[in-house]
Each structure stands twice: as structure tokens, then as C-alpha cells.
Structure 1
Amino acid sequence: MNTQEQIETYLASQPEPKRNDLQALHYLMLEVMPPGKLWFLDGKNSNNKLVTNPAIGYGVRTIIYADGKTREFYQIGISANTAGISVYILGIDDKTYLAKRFGETIGKASVSGYCIKFKRLTDIDLDTLKAAIRYGIEMTNKE
């Protein structure tokens, strides 16, 4: 199965109304992100054990580890969780920025150093979410 098929299968596997919200968020991501790589992480480790929620990733950034090794990973990710949906904005050095800049205006969401969690898409302000995503893209494109 290719990445697009994995994403479609993952989205279809979600219960409503989360499925509809994730599909809308996926289309929003395709609109906001510059054309680039799509990722699908099934959440399983090398022993095929589920260790994290599956995620859809967008874009490419390079992670540089302390030992100098590098690895490609996505810039922005979305994932279903037990309480709703998470949007991961990776590669921001200032772990207080998202909460300070977008926490007050995004709506009913929890905002941490790299993650925005909410129950329903209708609970948040989409323009604020897009601004947070664009900021994350800008920061990781500087890497």
C-alpha cells in the first residue's frame, strides 16, 4: 500500500464525527502546506507493537541528533487521539511560543510546546490554526 492509500485507510477507520474532522483537516493541510512529501506512521515499533497513535505527516525537515547523525521527518503531523485530534508542529526551538502566540485565540484547545489538541474542529479558530502551521513551516524551513 502506498502512502496515499495508507492515509485514506486510516481516515476511513476513524469513527464519526472524528473521521469527518480528520478528513477536513487533511484537506486543509494539503491547502496550507507547500507541495511536498506526505508521510504515514502506523504507530508501530520494529516488533510490530503499537506504541503511539498513527499519524499523517506533511513536509520534510531534517533532525540533527547530538551525535551528528541526521534523519528526515515531517514538519507538521495530525493524529487522532482518545480525546479528539492532535496537530503536531515540529521543529520550533522556543517551546513556549505556540502557547503564548496562539493559545489565547485558537479556541477550545490545549497548546503545548509543539502540539495543539482539541476535541472537534468546530471548537477551534481555523485561521489561528493555519497561522500556527505556517509559523511552524517557516521555522523548519530555516533549519
Structure 2
Amino acid sequence: MAGQKTMPDTGSVDAFLAQIEDPARRADSHAMARLLQEVSGEPPVLWGTMIGFGRYHYKYASGHEGDAFLVGFAPRKTEFSIYLMGTYLPEETQRRDRLLARLGKHRMGKACLYVKRLSDIDLEILRQLAGISVETLRRTYPGRT
């Protein structure tokens, strides 16, 4: 079985954010980091090109296992990828969808929210979505978080 490719502690979060050329995107990235740190109660950690908060260990029935962050984001060139893995679990999708209807301009994958800029969305709704992800993953994968 192949090992986990994306690992934590791959560098300095501050240095990574300082490399963002666009001042507005850099400011939004710092604001996103503050928001997710407040929600999770965990410091930011660089996981490749993603910034994660908290950590849990998962193991599937197939035998595949690894570590992931509770909530995180990646400041991509044209949009933010916001990772909300806990909102993908079946018991949370209805609550997630009700919040997404009020979020603002976005698109949603299975567990990844995409937004161009923070001014396009309601940050209180984002805070609630991140909280769902953190709470659900801590409940589902207790222990190493």
C-alpha cells in the first residue's frame, strides 16, 4: 500500500503566506487562518501547499489509513479551497446544505468549498461550517486530534 503523500509540518505558515503576491489574497489568507484557528482551537500547520488546523487519524474498512487535518484551506491562484471533510459525512450533509444556501458566492465539491474572495461570502456561515467539520471529525475519530 502506498504511503501518505501529504504530510504536516512541511514548512513555515508565515513564510508560505508571505509568498502570496496579491495583497488582497494575502490579507484574505491571513484572515482565513485566524478564523480557522479560532474555530478549531488549533495552530496552523503547513501540509504541503495546504494550511491545516488540528489532526485526526482515520482508518477505513479497506485497511487504508492516514492522518488529516480537521479543517484547512489552500490559497490557490484564483480561489480558496477550504477543506471541510466533516461536513461530507452523511449525518451532516443536510445541515451543511442549509448553511451553504446562505453562504454567498461559492461552489462546493464533496468536502471542499471554493470561494474567490472572503468578501463574497458570509464569514459567520463559514465559521459555522468549519465548526461542523471540526466537531464531526473529533466525534467520529476520537483520540489523536
Same fold (TM over 0.5): yes
User: Structure 1: which amino acid aligns with 2:34?
Assistant: Y
User: Structure 1: which amino acid aligns with 2:119?
Assistant: T
Aligned partner of 1:75 in structure 2 is 70
Q: Does the Cα contact within 8 Å between 1:99 and 1:111 map onto a contact in 2? A: no
RMSD: 2.3
Note the 1:96-111 alignment, pairs <5 A.
Answer: 96-97=93-94, 100-111=97-108
Aligned partner of 1:113 in structure 2 is 110
1:39 to 45, 48, 52: 45
Using the aligned pairs only, state the percent identity.
25
Compute the TM-score of the two structures, normalised by the length of structure 1: 0.79
Partner Cα separation in structure 1 for residue 11 and residue 67 of structure 2: 21
User: Structure 2: which amino acid aligns with 1:6?
Assistant: S
Relative to 1, partners in 2 of residues 1:125 and 1:105: Cα closer, same or farther, differing over 3 Å?
same
> How many residues were matched structurally?
130
Counterpart check, 1:88 vs 2:83: yes
Of structures 1 and 2, the one with the larger relative CO (CA 8 A, separation 6+) is 2
Q: CA deviation at 1:4?
A: 9.6
Aligned partner of 1:47 in structure 2 is none
Determine which structure has the larger helix proportion and give its number. 2
Q: CA deviation at 1:131?
A: 0.5
Q: CA deviation at 1:74?
A: 0.5
User: Structure 1: which amino acid aligns with 2:103?
Assistant: I
Compute the TM-score of the two structures, normalised by the length of structure 2: 0.78
Relative to 1, partners in 2 of residues 1:5 and 1:70: Cα closer, same or farther, differing over 3 Å?
closer
- Structure 1: stretches of 5+ with no match in the other structure: 43-53
User: Structure 2: which amino acid aligns with 1:32?
Assistant: V
User: Structure 1: which amino acid aligns with 2:118?
Assistant: L
Partner Cα separation in structure 1 for residue 27 and residue 51 of structure 2: 15
Q: CA deviation at 1:66?
A: 3.4
